[in-house]
């Protein structure tokens, strides 16, 4: 496991769409737990409506956090496949169609919806381990590109 230097921030990005069932309270609780133990973490929440700014934020982020508590069975946040295609590490709740796109431990990390401690633990794992974060991002890019080609 490689530890990032304390002065070098790890940037978390969440794309919030409250109408889609994003749980901002769980997200804030989880990120608060992470930042308490790891003050070098930076956290940005973008509204789903800010699509023109979203790609710029994704390019600067290290991790995309998707925290939904409810979603239609096949519903996937639009930012998820974009982030994966760009090689961004993703930590998400296993809600709606997300488990059909993201495989836990292979191309991202999945946690139960509404579980702030589980979300925090998954975030700590990728915040503190650069190699795991990079591997998940690279695998995400390969898997989503393969899925798009076979669709």
User: The pTM is what?
Assistant: 0.88
Structure confidence at residue 2 (pLDDT): 45
- Could you tell me where the beta strands, DSSP code E, fall in 6-126? 10-16, 41-47, 63-66, 89-93, 109-111
Mean pLDDT of 99-116: 95
Q: Taking 50 as the threshold, does the pLDDT of residue 1 lie above it?
A: no
pLDDT digits (tens, 9 = 90+) for 11-62: 999 987 766 556 788 999 999 999 999 999 999 998 766 778 888 999 999 9
Mean pLDDT of 120-142: 97
Q: By three-state DSSP, how is residue 108 classified? A: strand
Could you tell me which CATH class the domain 10-146 is placed in? alpha beta
Tell me the C-alpha to C-alpha distance, in Å, between residue 115 and each of 3, 20, 21, 143.
Answer: 26, 18, 14, 26
Could you state, in order of their start, the residue ranges of all structural domains in the chain? 10-146
Using the structure block, give the residue that is written with the tokens 């608060």.
Answer: 32
């Amino acid at each position: 496991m490689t530890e990032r230097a304390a002065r070098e921030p790890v940037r978390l990005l969440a794309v919030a769409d409250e109408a889609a069932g994003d749980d901002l309270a769980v997200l804030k609780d989880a990120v608060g737990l992470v930042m308490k133990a790891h003050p070098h973490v930076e956290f940005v929440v973008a509204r789903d409506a800010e699509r023109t700014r979203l790609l710029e934020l994704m390019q600067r982020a290290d991790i995309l956090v998707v925290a939904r508590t409810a979603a239609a069975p096949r519903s996937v946040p639009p930012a998820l496949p974009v982030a994966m295609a760009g090689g961004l590490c993703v930590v998400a709740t296993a809600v709606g169609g997300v488990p059909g796109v993201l495989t836990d431990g292979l191309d991202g990390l999945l946690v139960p919806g509404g579980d702030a401690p589980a979300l925090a633990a998954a975030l700590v794992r990728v915040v503190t381990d650069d190699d795991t974060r990079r591997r998940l991002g690279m695998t995400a890019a390969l898997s989503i590109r393969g899925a798009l080609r076979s669709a």
